[in-house]
């Protein structure tokens, strides 16, 4: 058995001023993600939805850097947890972890709502409000 990937055209109701380029995925929503409901309203998911066909919705990318977060960057670890970092990290050549991040702290016990991202290698978000500190190794 193999996994395949494909693109499909789906008709979905949306507000008149909605930009379809903001849709980044079609899957069950995670807590805090913006979705389009079946009736075309933009809604923030209050919880992590189970992976069931009736929970699939268009996921909207409108993530904003939290005002209270002063870290240089946030990234998802390979295990799925999010951390804030002192420096902007990079991926090690063997593609198995982030390096060069300086000190870091876990965000799971904070009010942090992560950006809509499913894959840790694509999760790097750099703080747009700071001159991001990059450590040279």
* pLDDT at residue number 135: 47
Task: Quote the number of domains for the chain.
Answer: 2
Q: Look up residue 49 and give its DSSP letter.
A: P
Q: CA-to-CA distance for 61 and 33, rounded, in angstroms?
A: 8
Q: Is residue 136 part of a domain?
A: no
Q: Is residue 8 part of a domain?
A: no
Parent domain of 88: 73-126
What does residue 4 show for φ and ψ, rounded to 5 degrees?
-115, 160
Q: Is residue 106 part of a domain?
A: yes
Q: Is residue 10 part of a domain?
A: no
Q: What is the pLDDT along the chain (137 residues), one digit of tens a residue?
A: 888 888 888 889 999 999 998 898 899 988 888 999 988 899 988 888 888 888 899 999 888 899 999 999 999 999 889 999 999 999 988 878 899 988 888 998 788 888 888 889 989 999 998 764 544 44
Q: Are residues 25 and 54 in the same domain?
A: yes
Q: Are residues 48 and 92 in the same domain?
A: no
How many CB atoms are closer than 10 A to CB 67? 7
Q: Are residues 79 and 54 in the same domain?
A: no
Q: CA-to-CA distance for 103 and 84, rounded, in angstroms?
A: 9
Q: Are residues 54 and 95 in the same domain?
A: no
* pLDDT at residue number 68: 92
Q: CA-to-CA distance for 11 and 32, rounded, in angstroms?
A: 24
* pLDDT at residue number 82: 93
Going edge to edge, which strands form the sheet with 104-106?
Answer: 104-106, 82-85, 73-76, 125-126
How many residues appear in the chain?
137
pTM above the 0.75 mark?
Answer: no
């Amino acid at each position: 058995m193999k996994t395949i990937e494909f693109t499909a055209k789906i008709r979905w109701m949306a507000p008149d001023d909605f930009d379809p380029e903001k849709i980044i995925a079609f899957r069950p929503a995670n807590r805090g993600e913006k979705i389009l409901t079946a009736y075309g309203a933009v809604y923030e998911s209050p919880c992590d939805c189970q992976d069931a066909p009736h929970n699939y919705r268009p996921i909207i990318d409108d993530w904003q850097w939290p005002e209270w977060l002063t870290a240089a960057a946030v990234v998802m670890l390979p295990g799925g947890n999010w951390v804030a970092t002192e420096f902007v990290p990079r991926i090690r050549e063997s593609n198995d972890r982030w390096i060069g991040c300086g000190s870091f702290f876990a965000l799971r016990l904070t009010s942090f709502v992560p950006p809509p991202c499913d894959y840790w290698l694509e999760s790097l978000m750099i703080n747009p409000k700071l001159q991001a500190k990059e450590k040279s190794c």
